[in-house]
């Protein structure tokens, strides 16, 4: 069975078992990505006696969500202390337990997990039996360190659910919309094009995967399929745009939004792309270790909306490792709050950004955002 068939089968099975939260989201009421995240948190509060005593699920504030995430963090600590050999050792050695984590400042008591740690002992991070893994892949990503990451079936579905919500935020939710996917095909490992294609299928949106490096072929495919949205590596989208700029009527082929992913996109590159196609170009950020679909800009282009229910984010000083307040730039540190296969606690991304802790003009009142991602100079 090919990778694509395996993913397709696992997704079909899961969809039969449970409904995707993202399918209930309506883009006419605020920001769909935020609505999806808040719905996930609300559902969890409603199903927990303990959480119901602490929060009113129908009146969640920014502070409530932060408090909720801290509780999830402590719950995750308990889980990894039971199930992960790596964290069991670290916590024992440092003499840390969940009762010591009561504020965000307390998080600094826990050492960061470095990409080198993950590369050196991948299976020490594993919390479930290996037979329950549906995808295992290696990644060198932006850090250049080769790491192994594994995902369970439920986690793949959660990632697809997050992607569908992001597609809705980009106004892709009708059968008249087509996403043109331009990632190079990666056959041996995790293929973002395949995952995106499946998310489109479940969202009821058409998708076309074209891995050709020929600009002419890419544009012909867009015209033939009636593509409305494009996603690809930032450098390739820019190259494509520069070569397409003299084509007559390029603005009229119907592209409504362009998503530039996996690589930094400067404001100059963004302006070039937008002037060619006559629509907005939006940045997306994700890491393979964290499931790729981690944060994306809305049309306001004022920070990346983070997948709020799934990640606890911190910004730390890259030298002193001290926690920095919103607005101040430092290293992005991420905890995967809902992963059960290989959860990561305080993962050092080696990316530089700051937290925007205020409502977005798009209507998202509770989402946390981060500013443009920069690589930490080596």
Q: Which residues bind Zn ion (CB under 5 A)?
A: 298, 300, 360, 362, 364
Tokens coding 29: 């009421």
Q: Of 31 and 178, which has the nearer Cβ to Zn ion?
A: 31
Q: Residue 74: is it exposed, middle or buried by C-beta count within 10 angstroms (0-12/13-18/19+)?
A: middle
Q: Of 277 and 304, which has the nearer Cβ to Zn ion?
A: 304
Nearest in space to 69 (alpha carbons), one of 293, 324, 367, 372: 367
Angle at 306 between CA 17 and CA 309, to 5 degrees: 45
Sequential DSSP letters for 93-150: HHT--GGG--SGGGGGGSPPBPHHHHHH-GGGG--S-GGGEEEEEEE-TTTT--EEEE
Q: Residue 325: is it exposed, middle or buried by C-beta count within 10 angstroms (0-12/13-18/19+)?
A: exposed
CA 169 and chain centroid, separation: 14
Q: Of 300 and 329, which has the nearer Cβ to Zn ion?
A: 300
Tokens coding 348: 């050092």
**Smallest distance from Zn ion to CB 15, Å:** 28
Q: Of 274 and 300, which has the nearer Cβ to Zn ion?
A: 300
**Smallest distance from Zn ion to CB 352, Å:** 21
**Smallest distance from Zn ion to CB 365, Å:** 10
- Residue 211 Cα distances to 55, 217, 225, 348, angstroms: 47, 10, 15, 31
**Smallest distance from Zn ion to CB 362, Å:** 3
- Residue 172's SS3 state is coil
CA–CA separation, 69 and 307 (whole Å): 12
Q: Of 208 and 362, which has the nearer Cβ to Zn ion?
A: 362
Q: Of 257 and 339, which has the nearer Cβ to Zn ion?
A: 257
């Amino acid at each position: 069975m090919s990778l694509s068939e395996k993913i397709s089968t696992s997704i079909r099975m899961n969809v039969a078992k449970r409904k995707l939260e993202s399918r209930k989201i309506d883009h006419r009421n605020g920001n769909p990505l935020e609505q999806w995240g808040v719905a996930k948190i609300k559902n969890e509060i409603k199903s927990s006696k303990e959480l119901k005593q602490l929060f009113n699920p129908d009146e969640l504030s920014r502070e409530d969500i932060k408090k909720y995430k801290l509780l999830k963090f402590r719950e995750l600590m308990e889980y990894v202390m039971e199930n992960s050999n790596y964290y069991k050792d670290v916590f024992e050695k440092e003499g840390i337990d969940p009762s010591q984590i009561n504020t965000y400042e307390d998080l600094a008591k826990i050492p960061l997990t470095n990409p080198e740690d993950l590369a050196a002992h991948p299976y020490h991070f594993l919390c479930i039996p290996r037979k329950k893994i549906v995808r295992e892949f290696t990644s060198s990503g932006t850090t250049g360190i080769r790491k192994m990451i594994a995902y369970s079936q439920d986690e793949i579905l959660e990632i697809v659910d997050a992607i569908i919500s992001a597609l809705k935020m980009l106004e892709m939710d009708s059968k008249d919309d087509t996403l043109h996917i331009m990632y190079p095909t990666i056959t041996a490992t995790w293929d973002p094009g395949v995952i995106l294609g499946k998310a489109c299928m479940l969202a009821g949106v058409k998708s076309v995967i074209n891995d050709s490096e020929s600009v002419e072929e890419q544009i012909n495919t867009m015209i033939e399929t009636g593509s409305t949205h494009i996603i690809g590596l930032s450098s390739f989208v820019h190259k494509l745009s520069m070569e397409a700029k003299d084509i007559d009527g390029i603005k009229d082929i119907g592209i409504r939004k362009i998503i530039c992913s996996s690589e930094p996109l400067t404001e100059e590159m963004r302006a070039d792309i937008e002037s060619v196609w006559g629509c907005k170009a939006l940045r997306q950020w994700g890491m393979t270790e964290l499931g790729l679909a981690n944060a994306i800009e809305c049309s306001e282009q004022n920070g990346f909306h983070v997948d709020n229910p799934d990640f606890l984010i911190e910004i730390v000083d890259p030298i002193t490792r001290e926690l920095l307040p919103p607005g101040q730039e430092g290293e992005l540190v991420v905890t995967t709050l809902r992963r059960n296969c290989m959860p990561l606690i305080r993962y050092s991304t080696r990316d530089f950004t700051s937290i925007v802790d205020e409502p977005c003009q798009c209507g998202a009142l509770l989402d946390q955002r981060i500013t443009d991602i920069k690589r930490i100079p080596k």
